[in-house]
Structure 1
């Protein structure tokens, strides 16, 4: 899909900063190491999908010392998430993409928590977005692993109780209120809590 952009939201994979809810099971260093593996995997799959330009929207900003030593592909754009809750950060990134000009035909907003969100899934999402205003890949915890949009409205992201089971339901209600068509993709599993580790791919 020409003009599509994949925006990957990620924290620097540093101990005590990334995947902190996994520290009881993996320790701070182990959780950070898994975060680094998941970041690398997500960027690899996004690039391998071949459907869009890839942007890393980072926290803290890409030039921060926390990113020192983290190897990132040279062909991805790097931007800062900035301030505010997750909704404010996602809204800002999506709006920036759409305001970049007529070249933006849509965005796929993803995190790095879902190893199953691979290149094939991203190709499926890109194809589906050509036929709908929005699409969502819900996760078993009530959130979502991917949100695709062909247009922007800040209400999609505002006043949502992030990291709760209401995230996907609330987002779908917002899309419905806007009168936008929306496609739901296959249910996926995020790796956020120790119990989620069973959903890691073999060998991880």
Structure 2
């Protein structure tokens, strides 16, 4: 069965940093839809499952408590992409911004000093970027953000709660990073911009993904295995 969904009551923590992974349940037709028709809906879901497995594998190696925030609805059965050591939460709130705001509020309220949220669309993201993000938040009143090549961001972190980053914020456009950075700088917090990276959203992103997998095969073994089984070399 699923790992139990965590309550929102303050819990004892083992570390000062919490890393939240925002993801969807990998249902065919509901994830990585822009990779179709290059991939079938089932193939896209298999690839997304591999992304999620590798993302969780990566973050569990960091000095942080890991929480997986899944978009509802959750299935009745198990999701074997969730390893032990990961607390499962349900995303709540109005839209992506509202859901991230609520997740930050809950986690900071549980007593963590640093909270980072990231997605699962970049399985080869260097672990050093995450380590730099955690380091950037060691002082109170700090923010960090990692931009993506398409104008969004792959990570957002804070050591204090800044709800103004989310108020009436719109997403899924090419100015998300720029607007979020502008809002961050307006808070008066110490803002760190991390190195740029990329999301795997469209068929054209597969070539870069495969290059990364060839260069660092140990970083994302699940994605490497599924990529081979799906024949992504022929699609890139």
TM-score normalised according to structure 1 size: 0.91
Q: Partner residue of 1:55?
A: 67
Instruction: Identify which range, 3-12 or 191-200, moves more after superposition.
Output: 191-200
For the pair 1:133 / 2:142, whether they are aligned, the reply is yes
Aligned length: 199
2:203 maps to which residue?
A: 194
**In the aligned structure 2, how far is the partner of 1:36 from the partner of 1:109?**
19
2:101 to 91, 94, 110: 91
Deviations 1:147-168 (A, max 9, x none): 1111112111222221111111
**Counterparts of 2:80 and 2:167, CA distance in 1:** 32
The range that moved more, 190-199 or 7-16, is 190-199
Select 1:5's aligned residue among 18, 25, 31: 18
SS of 2:84's partner is: coil
Determine the structure 1 residue equivalent to 2:85: 75
CA distance in 1, matches of 2:73, 2:19: 18
**Structure 2: which 5+ runs fail to align?**
1-13, 215-223, 228-236
Q: Counterparts of 2:181 and 2:61 in 1: how far apart (Å)? A: 29
- Larger Rg belongs to: 2
Q: 1:156 to 1:198 in 2, by over 3 A?
A: same
Match 1:177 to one of 186, 189, 198: 186
Match of 1:35 among 25, 38, 48: 48
Following the alignment from structure 2 to structure 1, what is the Cα–Cα distance between the partners of residues 146 and 160?
Answer: 17
SS at match of 2:204: helix
Q: Quickly say closer, same or farther: Cα 1:196–1:127, change in 2 above 3 A.
A: same
1:127 deviates by: 1.5
- Separation in structure 2 between the aligned mates of residue 128 and residue 178 of structure 1, nearest angstrom: 16
Cα 1:129–1:78, aligned 2, differ >3 Å: closer, same or farther?
same
2:179 partner SS: helix
Distance 2:80 2:35 in 1: 20
Give the aligned CA root-mean-square deviation in angstroms: 1.8
Q: Alpha-carbon deviations, 1:22-63, whole Å to 9, x = none?
A: 1222110111011000000000000012x200000011255x
When normalised by structure 2's length, the TM-score is 0.79
Question: Stretches of 4+ moved more than 6 A in 1?
Answer: none
- Relative to 1, partners in 2 of residues 1:173 and 1:143: Cα closer, same or farther, differing over 3 Å? same
The answer to whether the 8 A contact 1:45-1:118 is kept is no
